[in-house]
Amino acid sequence: MTADRPFIPLSIAILTVSDTRRPEDDRSGDTLVERLGEAGHRLADRAIVPDDVEAIRARVTAWTLTPQIDVVITTGGTGFTGRDVTPEALEPLFEKRMDGFSAIFHRISFEKIGVSTIQSRATGGVMNATFVFVLPGSPGACRDGWDLILKAQLDYRHRPCNFVEIMPRLDEHLRRGGLSA
């Protein structure tokens, strides 16, 4: 962190993917909302959708097309059971994948839970010029993802670089007429 830059609050939407969670028992969503608030960011919206590809895509797409939303974070649906479909729902929609997010998440997770980290398919990417992060559905994974990765990268004061400083340029390929090889 550096004091020569101002803090820039972001608007962040939180999506819990679950067939069983309700607002009153969504501990993972609560964890993310609490942490983004403590960091000084704004909760733009929050929702719970079932483990359904189309429901996940519809909610995240709508948010990424909303100019007032800077970041979308999902929690849940990253495992290997038949109902875990969040990566399948979102990765095909990413304009750019963020392989480093998954790699760092797994490194951090390995320190906490050992080789059980291989049971997560945490991922991230850019969709409609909006950062999208896909976290596992446990409060511990949400704490680790936020505290040890996202909190710093979503803070303009973090050096040597952060996501906030490149946000205005995420749609350059759209202004140029598409992605080029």
CATH number at residue 115: 3.40.980.10
| Residue 28 lies inside a defined structural domain of this protein | yes
Residues 7 and 41: their CA atoms lie apart, in Å, by 10
pLDDT tier for residue 68 given thresholds of 50, 70 and 90: very high
- The pLDDT tens digits for 21-35 are 999 999 999 999 999
The whole-model pTM stands at 0.94
| Residue 2 lies inside a defined structural domain of this protein | no
162, two tokens? 């952060």
pLDDT at position 4: 87
Could you count the other beta carbons within 10 Å of the beta carbon of residue 39? 18
Q: State the SS3 of 32-45.
A: HHHHHHHCCCEEEE
| Residue 176 lies inside a defined structural domain of this protein | no
CB 79 within 8 A of CB 120: yes
pLDDT at position 115: 96
Domain total of the chain: 1
| Residue 60 lies inside a defined structural domain of this protein | yes
- Domain of 74 in residue numbering reads as 11-166
Residues 36 and 40: their CA atoms lie apart, in Å, by 6
| Residue 21 lies inside a defined structural domain of this protein | yes
| Residue 172 lies inside a defined structural domain of this protein | no
- The pLDDT tens digits for 74-87 are 999 999 999 999 99
| Residue 5 lies inside a defined structural domain of this protein | no
| Residue 141 lies inside a defined structural domain of this protein | yes
